[in-house]
Amino acid sequence: MRVMQLPAFGLDQLQMVSLPTPEPGPGEVLVRFQAAAINYRDYQIVTGEFAPAADLPIVPCSDGAGLVAAVGDGVTELAVGDLVCPLFFPHWQSGEAVGNERSVSSGLEAPGTLREFGIYRPAELARAAGNLTAAEAACFPCAGLTAWNCVHTLAGIGPGDWVLAQGTGGVALFALQFAKALGARVIISSSSDVKLERALALGADHGINYVAEPEWGIRARELTGGQGVNCVVEIGGEGTLPQSVAALHRGGHIGIVGYLAGIGLGLTVFDLIERNASLHGVSVGNRENFVAMMACVEEQRVQPAISAEYAFADAPAALADISAGQHFGKLVVNIAED
């Protein structure tokens, strides 16, 4: 089987190698990957920014989808031909991660999805929604589940609520789609008017260019009629949190999923007390969350925004492109079609 392997840090170090195709043992499932989706974390891992002490070689990329190719003795939960996704945290099944549930993640401590085949336990996989292609399903394990937990699991967004999502990357656009599916109204912020137009076409109620309107938190509050937003999907961190708090409805939730504008908070306690704000650090989610998300995806016919697709051999280019930040939605590597 073909495997994209990282023997040393650096995009130029990624290499295609040939390894024996594994066979499933008792209680195991063999997945033939059809597609992998790129997250910014994957780029950081490959370049050594995320985990410089990681054991090499690594098979990169946490997210993917494929068909069950074979099952070992005793496997009854899955059947040959099922479209499945590996979990971002294969050991985190349900509840809070209070122990070692997050000690292993796909694409770092465990082999990722840039390979033709992988062996998994059934509990490390989840079925994809029936309305999704493999390329679409590959987009959900990290970005999709992060957005779902921000909007639904933590904030409990429902009809009439307001959500503010920063940017037009995978997490922000999933937050837009899930919020609309749950009956909420959505504001998207971006530095690009072109991307804002695309977000409006995808269902956003309002767009704010944060370059043209640096007090975009106040502007978001105005757009809600002064009540503020019930949930902010916070991508930036230190450079954006003060405006996120300014946009927030009293008792609202901020799901902190990124730090593109700094790792600090940049707030005083008075900002939080005045808004009675809840700040949640969100690190993807568990299998139970994933199953609930896929049920919503199937019921509401949610399909991800895919910005570009790449051949398997062009995976390094996909990783480079996500760092450039010009994409709208997800970048997908097609594995089975090479």
165 SS3 class: strand
pLDDT tens string 30-74:
999 999 999 999 999 999 999 887 899 999 999 999 999 999 999
In this model, does residue 261 exceed pLDDT 60?
no
Q: At residue 306, what are phi and psi to the nearest 5 degrees?
A: -105, 120
pLDDT tens string 166-217:
989 889 999 999 999 999 999 999 999 999 999 999 999 999 999 999 999 9
In this model, does residue 160 exceed pLDDT 70?
yes
In this model, does residue 91 exceed pLDDT 80?
yes
In the chain, the amino acid numbered 283 is S
Matching residue, tokens 């770092």: 108
In this model, does residue 260 exceed pLDDT 60?
no
Q: Give one DSSP letter per residue of 32-44, joined into a string.
A: EEEEEEE-HHHHH
CA-CA-CA-CA torsion for 146, 147, 149, 152, nearest 10 degrees? -170
Which pLDDT band holds residue 335 (cuts at 50, 70, 90)?
very high
Which pLDDT band holds residue 262 (cuts at 50, 70, 90)?
low
pLDDT on residue 119: 98
List, in order of start, the domains of the chain with CATH numbers.
2-139+304-334 (3.90.180.10), 144-281 (3.40.50.720)
pTM here is 0.93
Q: Helices (DSSP H) in the chain: which residue ranges?
A: 40-47, 134-137, 145-148, 170-181, 193-202, 216-223, 241-247, 269-275, 287-300, 315-324
What's the mean pLDDT in 326-330? 90
Tokens coding 106: 């796909």
Which one, of 294, 288, 329, lies nearest residue 132 by Cα? 294
Cβ(279)–Cβ(257) under 8 Å? no
What's the mean pLDDT in 89-105? 92
Matching residue, tokens 């679409």: 136
Tokens coding 193: 């008017």
What's the mean pLDDT in 229-250? 88
